[in-house]
Structure 1
Amino acid sequence: MATGEADLHDMIRDSVQDLAADFPREYWRECVEEYRFPQEYWDALADAGWLGVAIPEEYGGEGLGMLEMTIVIEELSRAGTMGGIVFVLTPVFGGIGIQRHGTEEQKQEYLPRIANGDVTFCMGLTEAAAGTNTLNIDTMAEEVGDGEWAVSGQKMFISGVENADTMLLVSRTAEFDKSNPTGGVTLFLVEDPAERDAIDLTHVEVELPWFEKQYQVDIDGLRVTEDDVLGTVDGGLYLLWDTLNTERIAGAASALGGGLRAVDLAVDYANDRNVFGAPIGSHQAIQHPIAESYAKLTAAREVTYKAAKLWDEDEDCGTEANSASLLTSEFGLEAADRAIQTHGGNGFTPEYEVFDIWRNLRLTKTAPVSNEMILNYLGEHELGMPRSY
């Protein structure tokens, strides 16, 4: 790494750590308990330029790359904030998606507002009958006029609809065709989804310490136009896949930071807790698992950074992005488990943070894509084995 780049990244880490220090655990507990969007935190990220870190300067961003966004997310998560949750939907799916595939009008409309924190996104993709198989979605946009559609269907486990200014909605615009299986899917930008008469929201209870709710989203005759299309009609699946690598990288950065947070808390507790006349961290049974988790996470960080660098260089990063997602989820969860064990009974009490970290990191093995599907990808596309699903 060049000296100038290293200095820039050190500056980013220092700045992000300073920002995160203004939002202690009590702040996040209140947001979670009240299902309250962390507006003060969001505004601070916008004021510091981090929401627009990968948005070009001509649209009000910082003009940096995915690597720098990765560092920001990692440090926010390591500091105990919910950086990964707030970044993936708006700066990644909204910002990068529109930056790469939007019209000039859409870029002018959305990118400056993403950078300054004036707009938030949610993603309407998952369906109960489709799961990981996006080709199997049933939500359908029926053409009702020249450049106008009526969308109907049901989405499941959709995060943060109540706070979102815009939903990136994935819908079919043509029936599934075996001769062209990846066609017929279109992405629509839907303004004010929670306020639309054609959209009905049902809260889905999940055991996660998040400030946002999960919803079943029922759509009945939602009107959209060609101005709402992101990319091309029937070509949305390729756009979605193009953005998924950045989702993998951002998610890996969040899991990496969460795992390192667990290590940091385990170290602090092991140094402070005295049993039999010595800090418990002086015992190898405590010290070695924590040190091993740190080693695994720092190795996973290298894969994550490599994926981000490749993406910034417009190179294929599918293997690295998927590997980063796999390794950070496995190693991060293991680190959180070991942090709980280090804390003993205290690890299960609300006064200590480690159990909440474990719950959040457990999700990363399942969503946004399961580790089994990542292994399928690596086995087929990297190792050349037969398709297994």
Structure 2
Amino acid sequence: MEFSFVKRLLMLLIVISIFSNSFNNKVIEAVSPDKPLITSEAAILIDGKTGRTLYEKKPDKKMNPASLTKIATAIYAIENGNLDDLVTISHNAREVVGTRVYLEEGEKITLKRLIQGLLINSGNDAGVAIAEHLDGSVEGFATSLNRYLKDLGLQNTNFVNPHGLYHPEHQTTARDLALITKYAMKNRDFREIFGTKELKWNGKSWDTTIYTHHKLMRQQPYDGITGGKTGYVVESGITLVTTATRGELSLIAVTLNAPSEDIAYHDTVDLLDYGFDNFNVESISEGQLFGINNEEYINNDILIYTISKNEKIHQQITNDGLLELKNDFQDVIATFQLERITTLDDKNVSETKDSQIKDHSNYTFIYVLFFTMFVLALLMISRWFYRNFNKKMYY
């Protein structure tokens, strides 16, 4: 009888262990949608409004971006130059190699037109003309551009030219490219040029219509696409930056060093589909009050954050009034600094819901513990009845 009881107990513990693992796996699967399989060497998908990273693969590896460099050149030029300025094209700009808009030495063209040629047709000559106009030389431009990017928070970027032609010290990361694109998309002039599909070009020696090189904007249109830039040199492979918006959700996808165009675009579509299929934008309305340790705080703006469609968000206030949004696994989804408005005396201000976030595994452990105790109690009761029943039978 004793051996039979121990055996049953061991079997019970095995069943509980299996049940616990299964429960945990189901919970994890519920909040972690299947991620796409990306072939490009590095990639990242972020929310274009909040900056939350939704997918990443080697996001901080320093790589050559090729013509994706021109995104940084364009926003720097828009913010530091006058779009109506007339720029005189130099011999140096005229002779640059690679993709061009066929500028002629001595030709005069507005800065805005150069930025259009830079982003839409990926004109390397336009990039050199912009650099010389703003900072006197390509070298001076690179120094100023790197300082500008550092001020914006890009820590792993060093550009030595305005166009992205290969240089061993010309490097950035998928994350930095996503961040500079996010920043640039706040600018109306940049958004307009970045999203232009075609433009009539009347140059001194080139009268034509230029078209964006990004296939998802023209040849293979993607629902919600708002802009894109392509890049290629032998050393970088195929590189892409793509922006798209559906409803309240705006996405920025970056892929670096894809072995072919087809793979680069396939990776990009998979990233965008993953984002739109699995994430939503939520908000906290303006003017809500939050209290902690006799301090009261308020949010003066609408607070926007991005979550997985299966995520549950908990709010937590720190002692200095920082609102943290966390999921069940204590991952910080977003943070917002609130404004302190008063010290609470005896006012009954409810603290933020779920301010003490507990790891989901703790809930699972407690659940399993109580379940185990309950079943053990049942076994002990049944064992007691079994013994007493046998005694009565043989009495």
* TM-score for the superposition, normalised by structure 1: 0.25
Which structure: greater helix fraction? 1
Larger Rg: 2
The TM-score with structure 2 as length reference comes to 0.25
